Every structure is written in structure tokens, then in C-alpha cells.
Amino acid sequence: MSVTDPRVRAGLTYPFSGIQDGVPFPVAPGVTLVRITVPGPLRHVNCYLIDDEGGVALVDTGMNTDAARDAWKELFKGPYAGVRVTRMIGTHFHPDHIGLAGWMCDHHGAPLMMTRGEWLTARMLIADARDAVPPEMIVWWRGAGWSEEQVAHASERGWAGFRRIVRPLPLGFTRLRDGGTLRIGTVDWRIVVGSGHSLEHACLLDERSGVLIAGDQVLPRISPNISLGVTEPDADPLGEWFASIDRLRALDADLLVLPGHGDPFTGLHVRLDQMEAEHRERLDMLERFLAEPARAVDSFTVLFNRRITPDTLGMATGEALAHLRRLEVEGRACREERDGVWWWRAV
């Protein structure tokens, strides 16, 4: 571990260097980071082992992949040989965070701890593993402006993708509640729940040591994906995310933030301001773009500084719809439907 030469970038301070995939890295008193490789552009997810009575509490796991399972097996054969996972804590339902949670619970006899909204969503997606894409989803894709070729390509992958990368979860769980306290070892961690990236994302705050395990609610170099989906088409996830940022500003500005992706950093309030400013700028740009009616897919050039591939089309569409929906809620845009396709224009 190296803390002698902290890096400062874009107003954030990164106190550590030398973090390697699969190698335990102490980041705070009683807290060790384990970085697990995941497929896709994020490349890794940060998981955290917290010293507990009788073993360690584990926060997040990585996806249900051979590489992730092998990494954990090596860890529990090597530096953590004979150490038991006392409880399995999931920050939110996304597969890169709870893909192996059920596996860990089975292997260690550990209880699963999540917020109710995240646990129910994960259970629903695991159970709803039909082969064919539901008709409602195809209507949603076409409404966003997908071509028939894009609809066909996505349909070929079927509907059971979530279950393939998430092991089944236990039938029961222990609910994490916003403002509640979770005692792990000798430390009382306060549960701080955010929304927008997911329904009820749990962060863990150790006020005594000044540590926030933030999951994907606060990331250092990218903003978390904020998507509007078919399951709640009238929701306002971006509005919920802005409200969560306001609540997180009540936390100490000097906390050590332990994110779900990227390196640990300090500068929480700076990062919250940066993320909010980025999304509000996107909203302003999008409103100007909607001087002429446009579909969700047309807005990609305004919202994203990268090419949207078939693999990222779904996430890009969800994020575009979240921004368009936010403009609707703010009274800055309206939507009409023509032949099954949604068109937005500025008001």
C-alpha cells in the first residue's frame, strides 16, 4: 500500500496507489478493498471486507463469472484462509455488485443484508427469466426510436441475461433502512440510502473514522448510469438522484469515499457538485436540441461523448429517457407519440 504521494485530479485527492485486481488492499481501519474483474467497460468492481466478530462482513461481490469465483476462491485459500464471511451486504441489485451474493451466503452460512427495494427487484429479475423478450419491452424499444434491426439484435439475446450472471439469492434477507445502524465488529455503520442509479441504494457510513462505502451512488471519474425503464415508465430517476445528492451534502466533506468503481478518494462535496453540474448541463443542452422534435435515440449525440454500440444501446437509451423525462417533469419539454414512436420537443 502506498499513501506517501497522493494524487490530486479534478479537485479530488486519491490517497492510494498500487491497487491490484484480486489482491487485498487495506484502505481504512478494519476495512480492506478487494477489486474483482468484471466484463465490460468498467473492468472491475470494488468489494469491501470489514472486520467483524468471528470473521469479516463482505460488501458486494462481482458478477457470477468464472473469473470472479476463482478470484474469491484464491483469496479464501490464501490470505483469508479459514476466515468466515459473517454477513453478505449488497449495496444494490446490479449484477456486478450482487452476482455472487447468493454463492457467498450458501458457502459461509451468512445472512444477506440489503434494502427492501433492491432485494425485491433482484428476486423479481431472477424469477422472470422467460426465454423470449416480453412484448412490452419491444414496444418500449420502438418507442425510444430503435430500428427493427436493433430490436431484432436485442431480441436474439433473450430475457434471461440477469439470471445468468446472478446466483439465486436466499429466500430471506435482513432489511437495511435509511438512517439505521449496522454494528460490524466494534464499529457502528450508519445506513445512508440514495436513489436514481437504483431504487434504494445502500451506502455505509462510519462517522467515527470518516469513511463512506458509497457503492455506485458516488463515483470518482464517471457519473453512475441513471436510467428510466419499462418497469416504471412514469418515474423520475434523475430527479430522485438530484434529491439524493442534496441529502449526501449533509455528510462531512472530508470523508474518505470508497466507491464501487475507481479509486478511493476524498472531496465528497466537490464530486457531488461536479456530477450535478454535468447532468444539469446535459439537460440544458438537450432542451436546446429539442427546438425541433426528436426521439430518444436522436439525443445520443447531445448526451454522450462516445459512439453507442449494440452492447451499450440499452443503457444509453435508459439514460436518454431519464433526461427527457426530467425535462418533462420540469415543464421544459413535452412528448407525443406517432405510430408507436415517442417524440419530444421543447416547451
Residue 241 lies in a domain: yes
If one counts the domains in the chain, the total is 1
Residue 203 lies in a domain: yes
Examine residue 346 and state whether it is found in any structural domain, yes or no: no
Q: Which pLDDT belongs to residue 311?
A: 87
Q: Are 268 and 218 within 8 A, CB to CB?
A: yes
Residue 228 counted as domain residue: yes
Q: Within 10 Å of residue 186's Cβ, how many Cβ atoms?
A: 11
Query: How many Å apart are CA 347 and CA 344, to the nearest integer?
Result: 9
Type of residue found at 316? A
Specify if 169 maps to a domain: yes
pLDDT confidence of residue 160: 83
Q: Give the mean pLDDT per block of 10 residues along the chain (347 residues).
A: 66 95 96 95 94 98 96 96 97 97 97 98 90 94 97 91 92 97 97 97 97 97 94 96 97 98 98 97 98 97 90 95 98 97 97
Domain of residue 90 covers 7-269
Q: Is residue 181 part of a domain?
A: yes
Q: How far does the chain reach from its first CA to its final CA, in angstroms?
A: 54
- Kindly report the length of the chain: 347
- What is Dmax (Cα atoms) for the chain? 63
Name the DSSP letter for residue 297: G
Give the model confidence (pLDDT) of 291-335 as tens digits: 999 999 999 999 998 889 998 999 999 999 999 999 999 999 999
Distance of CA 109 to the CA centre of its chain: 26
CATH code, domain carrying 115: 3.60.15.10
Instruction: Judge whether 109 lies within some domain.
Output: yes
Question: Cβ–Cβ contacts within 10 Å for residue 80, how many?
Answer: 18
